[in-house]
Amino acid sequence: MTRHGFRVAAATGVAAVTLWAHPAAAADEINIDHVESTDGNVSVLVAVDGLPAGVTPDVGGVTVSVDGEAVTAEAKAIEAGEIERTTILTIDASNSMNGDRIAAAKAAAHAFLESAPPDVRIGLLTFSGTVQDTIAPTTDHESIAAAVDTITLDKGTRVYDAMVQSVNLAGTDGARSLLVLSDGADTGSEAAVQDTVDAATDARVIVDVVSLDQSPKHEAVLTEISSASGGKVIAADASALSEVFKAQADALASQLLVTFPAPQTVGEEASLDVTLTAGDTTYSDSAFVSLGSAAEAPRSVDLGEPLVNRGAMLLGAVALALGLAGVLAVVLLGNRGPSDSERRISAYFGQSTGGKRSKEMPAHQGLVDSAVHMTAKVVKGDFESRVATKLAGAGSALTPAEWLLIHAGVAVGMGFVGFVFRGGALAVFLTILGVLAPWVYLKFRHSKRLAAFNAQLAETLTLMAGGLSAGLSLPQAVDTVVREGQEPMASELRRVLVEQRLGVDIEDALDGVSHRMESQDFGWVVMAIRIQREVGGNLAELLTTVADTIREREYLRRQVKVLSAEGRISAWVLGALPIVMFLYMLMVRPDFVRPLYTEPMGLVLGAAAVGLICAGFFIMSRLVRIEV
């Protein structure tokens, strides 16, 4: 880009120095755009877009002098990665841009993005009465182009506020510049003209302004800002915008990189002169630079806005206090082990009792037992029975108290992680997820175990029928399955034998299996055994007939499952796609979806969308659900 002066960035490195160039008095054919020094080597970015058309600079003939002393320098066309270059497109999106102007502005932005070198980091900021959208500088020019197409107009023109925010958006490294497009005077900015000048010069960001059909008075103000930063104002009309923006991009592509070792004899301030030959003419530019030998003053760090407000912090403190009180109650009131009856029953079932507690048992194990016992005091009645049934059906060895204690720990832990990383919103979301996820996991394990149980049922009945035909009693036939069968059938029938030995009628013990596993097929088997016990008959033949029926039903069930697979997959895909896309956009383009959870209308639309998704998923799942 054409420059009247240049700015200098702080270069990182062991021997890095800071250079600042005041506007040079040279002609506009070539301009020193940027200077940085690292480890004793100086890099100078020179713009040559002001050379006459068709004239190519002789990179081998570039000469450099510092305070009149010639230095050995090398020049070449700049390549990707040698110097970080950043440009912020700052586009006026006020209502005065309506019609052909905004269309021309979008076309000009596209022309700039298509012509700019791939390594140039480009950001986007649009403004009207407020700063509408900001996209951080990126080399993904296509994403910026897509954002340009979504620009919408609004009332107001806060040019100065937009320039200040664009300066901040440009960052602190490398060669940075703004390309501002505006068609009107500033209205309502909090920043004054001098504030804008100070922001650009302090950050060493060059501001170029494309003035679209503005009056001389307003153009003079923009000239004051751009000239102070080393840029310039380019007057244009709507029809010429694309050419102007493309020329600015071409200027980036034609920049030269001149490098030379920093002289050891120069003082803190020096005059830098760059001369090159193009055709039969010699062109030069000079600037007065300051070599910053002193270390930079410490800079304050902007910590940004807190993740949570004061109220949320107080609420968190109360929750922490309640948690500590709960731990204290567990320690003081908890039990230290199972009762004698529990140990005897556990020993009969062949389970570990934990009753013979060693004196050397770690203290944390006693705390765990106390917590489980306290939870068991709270969890009683029908709820405990239902949870125990679910756990037994899923093949879990946990008690209801242990399960609910782990469940609460997962929910609280996930909520705490969300609170630490993103504040209250993510904490609530992860807490809800922590409450639901263990139940979903338990249901999944139960469904998987039930499928395996039903798949083994027909073969189990055939094996029992064979034992009965051989003269065995029903308990003996069940014991045969326990010894020769597979899980989960063997473990469930083993529990039937244990309960029968403890005095429970075998039909009731078998009925308990059907309730734990929620197996309708096994319930029919128990019903058939009860009827046979009451009216008599050949039980072996009856079990063989039931086994054949179950085998046919299982075949039909699998066939229906295959035929309905496409519908079930469609329900899951259509239900999950909006959620997955929202999470994806939340990661890659958070500004794009932020109105959905920060604006009242966005919250209403989000709630409606969730309701419609749930309704659609429910309807589709019912359409493909066929009972066999």
pLDDT tens by residue, 139-172: 999 999 999 999 999 888 899 999 999 999 998 8
| pLDDT, average across residues 275-299 | 67
Confidence of residue 178 (pLDDT cuts 50, 70, 90): very high
The burial of 343, by beta-carbon neighbours within 10 Å (0-12 exposed, 13-18 middle, 19 or more buried), is given as middle
CB distance 40 to 261 below 8 Å: yes
pLDDT given at position 422: 64
Which residues does residue 42 pair with via DSSP β-bridges, in sequence order? Answer: 37, 260
Q: What is the mean pLDDT of residues 488-497?
A: 86
pLDDT of residue 168: 92
User: Which residues neighbour 507 within 8 Å (Cβ) at sequence distance 6 or greater?
Assistant: 526, 529, 530, 533
Query: What pLDDT is recorded for position 78?
Result: 86
In this prediction, residue 110 carries a pLDDT of 93
Yes or no: say if 184 and 157 are a contact pair by the CB < 8 Å rule.
yes
- For residues 68 and 26, the model is more confident at 68
Which residues neighbour 252 within 8 Å (Cβ) at sequence distance 6 or greater? 1, 85, 87, 116, 117, 120
Which has the higher per-residue pLDDT, 12 or 211? Answer: 211
Give the integer Cα–Cα distance in Å for 17 and 41: 10
Which pLDDT score, from 0 to 100, does residue 146 have? 92
**Cβ–Cβ < 8 Å for 205, 216:** no
**Which pLDDT score is estimated for 334?**
47
- At residue 14, the pLDDT reads 31
Q: How far apart are the first and last CA of the chain?
A: 74
Q: What residues contact residue 205 under an 8 Å CB cut-off, 6+ apart?
A: 7, 167, 170, 176, 177, 178, 229
Rounded distance, CA 282 to CA 40, Å? 28
Q: What is the pLDDT of residues 8-18, one digit of tens each?
A: 333 333 333 33
Predicted model pTM: 0.45
Q: Residue 183: pLDDT band by 50, 70, 90 thresholds? A: confident
Confidence of residue 197 (pLDDT cuts 50, 70, 90): very high
Q: What is the pLDDT of residue 359?
A: 42
The stretch 439-456 carries a mean pLDDT of 83
Domain ranges of the chain: 7-78+256-290, 85-253, 311-378, 380-553, 565-623
Residue 264 CA: distances (Å) to CA of 9, 67, 191: 21, 12, 43
Those residues whose C-beta lies under 8 Å from the C-beta of residue 427, and which sit 6 or more positions away, are 415, 416, 418, 419
pLDDT digits (tens, 9 = 90+) for 369-402: 554 454 555 555 566 777 777 777 777 777 777 7
Query: Best-predicted range by mean pLDDT among 27-31, 50-54, 429-433, 524-528?
Result: 524-528
Q: What is the pLDDT of residue 20?
A: 40
Confidence of residue 2 (pLDDT cuts 50, 70, 90): very low
The pLDDT of residue 91 is: 93
For domain 85-253, the CATH superfamily is von Willebrand factor, type A domain (3.40.50.410)
* Cα 434 to chain centroid, rounded: 19
Q: Give the model's confidence band at 316: pLDDT under 50 very low, under 70 low, under 90 confident, else very high.
A: low
User: DSSP assignment, residue 584?
Assistant: H
Q: For the domain with range 7-78+256-290, which CATH number is right: 1.10.3470, 2.60.40, 2.60.120, 3.30.1120? A: 2.60.40
Find the DSSP H helices in 235-362: 241-253, 310-333, 340-348
256: β partners: 46, 77
Q: Which of 45-49, 308-312, 416-420, 469-473 has the lowest mean pLDDT?
A: 308-312
Average pLDDT over residues 70-86: 86
Burial of 568 (0-12, 13-18, 19+ CB in 10 A): middle
pLDDT per residue as tens digits for the range 402-439: 777 787 888 888 877 777 776 666 777 788 888 888 88
Q: What is the pLDDT of residue 303?
A: 55
For residue range 569-622, list pLDDT tens digits in order: 888 888 888 888 888 888 888 888 888 888 889 889 988 988 998 888 888 878
Q: Return left, alpha or beta for 536; rule: phi > 0 is left, psi -120 to 50 is alpha, else beta.
A: left
pLDDT (tens digit per residue) in 233-280: 888 888 888 898 998 888 888 888 888 887 877 766 778 888 888 878
Q: Is the pLDDT of residue 26 over 50?
A: no
- The amino acid at 462: T
Residue 354 has pLDDT above 80, yes or no: no
DSSP one-letter code for 11: P
- Is the confidence at residue 43, as pLDDT, over 70? yes
Looking at the DSSP bridge assignments, the partners of residue 8 are 35
Beta-carbon contacts of 589 under 8 Å, excluding residues fewer than 6 positions away, are 143
Residue 292: per-residue pLDDT: 44
* Count of beta carbons in the 10 Å neighbourhood of residue 556: 12
DSSP string, 147-193: HHHT---BS-B-HHHHHHHHHHHT-SSSEEEEEEEESS--BS-SS-H
Banded pLDDT at 464 (limits 50, 70, 90): confident
Please give the pLDDT value at position 356: 42
Instruction: With beta carbons less than 8 A apart as the criterion, state whether 456 and 465 touch.
Output: no
Q: Are 506 and 470 in contact (CB under 8 A)?
A: no
